Amino acid sequence: MKASDLMVAALEAEGVEYVFAVPGEENLDLLESLRTSTIRLVLARHEQGAGFMAATYGRLTGKAGVCLATLGPGATNLTTPAAYAALGAFPLVIITGQKPIKTSKQAQFQIVDVVSLFRPLCKASTQIVNGNRIPSLVREGFRLAQEERPGAVLLELPEDIAEEQTVEPVIPPHDRRYAVAGDAALDEAARRILAAQRPLLLIGAGANRRRASKVLRKFVSDTGFPFFDTQMGKGVVDEDSELYLGTAALSSGDYVHCAIEKADLIVNIGHDVVEKPPFFMEPGGQTVIHINYKAAEVDQVYFPQLEVIGDIAGSVERLGNRLDGKLQCDRSYYTVLHHEIASHISETSDDERFPMVPQRVVADVRSVMARDDIVALDNGIYKIWFARNYIANEPGTILLDNALATMGAGLPSAMMAAMLSPGRRVLAVCGDGGFMMNSQELETAVRLGLNLVVLVLNDAAYGMIRWKQDQLGFPDYGLTFSNPDFVTYAQSYGATGHRVERSADLVAVLNAAFEAGGVHLVDLPVDYSENKKVLIDELGAKVCEL
């Protein structure tokens, strides 16, 4: 068997459905092998688009997504998706090409040490130097990418290795199970929880796994445990619950921090240090129980007093059995806080000002999306508004990146969600700056026949940094730009463009776009003048009262 055929057979054995790619001449043997396989090749317009789609496949399915690029500039364009997967804990396998390594007549043309370049970003970065190594390296690559904590793996397949003959058989994957926390740790956790007066549950990014969500929902329902979540923990437990106390979108001074200050014990499930700390521990402060697949990474602001290490779903299920209706805590303050948060979120949600204020944008988006519809956010100041104000009912329905927080990932991420969930509404929410970084993937979305709506929040600036610039007292400088006519731009790709000209029209425009099907872009002018007023001045004053 040719090595490239063996590579594809190994991918098929891993259950690979798609390869997202911008191929080059060094990939042509592999491309030919893919042509006759069961795997669907998805041709992207930029390697970043391919990488973000593959990483989002991993995020939504738990199975490693696969992307393909050539050597040199093709490979270097995948460094950002590799970092996106590494920090976000999304399983991703990256395959890159390379010039022949046995004999080469092109000297150093386009050659970069890709394996070394990717090593800091990946759980493994390996050049395949013999076709017979392919089965073991592919199996090991997928194992590493998918096991906790998930991340990226790079496999470099040189041109001459891809075309050589091999004799090794494929190594099939096998089931694996994580160990569960020991009885002593679970008994002590239960004892401390039952002894607490105002325990509080935190759901972090590491809990956003398929099995964990189901168990955590039952745990909260059975125990009546008040909870809050991080941005990447949104939707793990239904935020419509009376027990929900908000999302930690700001570092301090928000309603949720009132709950944290009143709590005497915090059960932190799925803590991931890549997210901004949702709270800061202090000597003599609250007791913290760390429940996760791995031990805590201790620093000055996070030093849990008890660690429950093992499979999160299994550990939480067994902890719930120990509590079993025995949790008799004081929820009175949390109840007051829950209603304060609900009232705060509803403020300005019907504001008629135009350009639109973020609170109205979030409220209108929430009104057109069903419980299991999907919102994929790019990165900008609007992400804070969505994290705080958008109520997530199901896991995987609001795709926030609070890890690498890279611009340019929102559109490809939404495209992948639309491919995996064709019966659900999928909305990409992008700032104009982030959208233009990978806007060429509109053509890919149209070519794939996706049903997708892209909401572009238009303020002709890098709004998040402009806000920070203003906070620091610096003059307004260097962060504004001009945009294309987004309606015409969308039409040039074969998509449908819309422009909102009144706040009252957004809901109707979004509904009409979803009902029509296909790819739609909605150009929405937005006003971020509320950022400082609400998120700093007003919020600080109101929270202080509590």
Helix residue ranges per DSSP H, 165-266:
183-195, 210-223, 255-262
Q: What is the pLDDT of residues 425-458, one digit of tens each?
A: 999 999 999 999 999 999 999 999 999 999 999 9
Given a cut of 70, whether residue 31 has pLDDT beyond it is: yes
Instruction: Please give the residue that has the higher pLDDT: either 177 or 408.
Output: 408
Q: What is the pLDDT of residues 166-213, one digit of tens each?
A: 999 999 998 888 888 999 999 999 999 999 999 999 999 999 987 899
Q: Are 185 and 158 in contact (CB under 8 A)?
A: no
pLDDT value of position 539: 73
pLDDT value of position 110: 79
Given a cut of 80, whether residue 281 has pLDDT beyond it is: yes
**What does the domain layout of the chain look like in residue ranges?**
1-161, 181-337, 346-535
Q: What is the pLDDT of residues 303-333, one digit of tens each?
A: 999 999 999 999 999 999 999 888 889 999 9
Helices and strands of the chain, counted as H and E runs: 23, 18
pLDDT value of position 409: 98
How far, rounded to the nearest angstrom, does the alpha carbon of residue 38 sit from its chain's CA centroid?
28
Report the 3 state secondary structure along 250-288.
Answer: CCCCCHHHHHHHHCCEEEEECCCCCCCCCCCCCCCCCEE
Given a cut of 90, whether residue 488 has pLDDT beyond it is: yes
Given a cut of 80, whether residue 416 has pLDDT beyond it is: yes
pLDDT value of position 334: 94
pLDDT band at 526 (very low <50, low <70, confident <90, very high): very high
The mean pLDDT value for 262-283 works out to 89
pLDDT band at 236 (very low <50, low <70, confident <90, very high): very high
Q: Name the least confident of 73-77, 117-121, 465-469, 499-503.
A: 465-469
DSSP structure class, residue 535: I
Given a cut of 80, whether residue 542 has pLDDT beyond it is: no
The CATH fold of domain 346-535:
Rossmann fold (3.40.50)
Measured distance between the N- and C-terminal CA atoms of the chain, rounded to whole angstroms: 70
Q: Which residues contact 410 (CB under 8 A, 6 or more apart)?
A: 376, 377, 378, 379, 428, 429, 430, 434, 435
Given a cut of 80, whether residue 537 has pLDDT beyond it is: no
Q: Are 88 and 124 in contact (CB under 8 A)?
A: no
pLDDT value of position 41: 98
Given a cut of 90, whether residue 220 has pLDDT beyond it is: yes
pLDDT band at 2 (very low <50, low <70, confident <90, very high): very high
pLDDT band at 384 (very low <50, low <70, confident <90, very high): very high
The mean pLDDT value for 7-36 works out to 98
Tokens linked to 38 = 């069961």
Q: Are 84 and 406 in contact (CB under 8 A)?
A: yes
Q: Matching CATH topology for 181-337 and 346-535?
A: yes
CATH architecture, domain defined by 181-337: 3-Layer(aba) Sandwich (3.40)
Nearest to 39 by CA among 74, 67, 59: 67
In this structure, the chain runs to a length of: 546
pLDDT value of position 106: 66
Q: What Cα–Cα distance (Å) separates residue 208 from each residue in 110, 204, 247, 351, 379?
A: 40, 7, 14, 33, 20
The CATH fold of domain 1-161:
Rossmann fold (3.40.50)
Nearest to 383 by CA among 195, 535, 220: 535
* Average per-residue pLDDT for the chain: 94
- For residue 316, what is the enclosing H or E element? helix 312-323
Q: Name the least confident of 89-103, 136-150, 195-209, 338-352.
A: 338-352
pLDDT value of position 544: 63
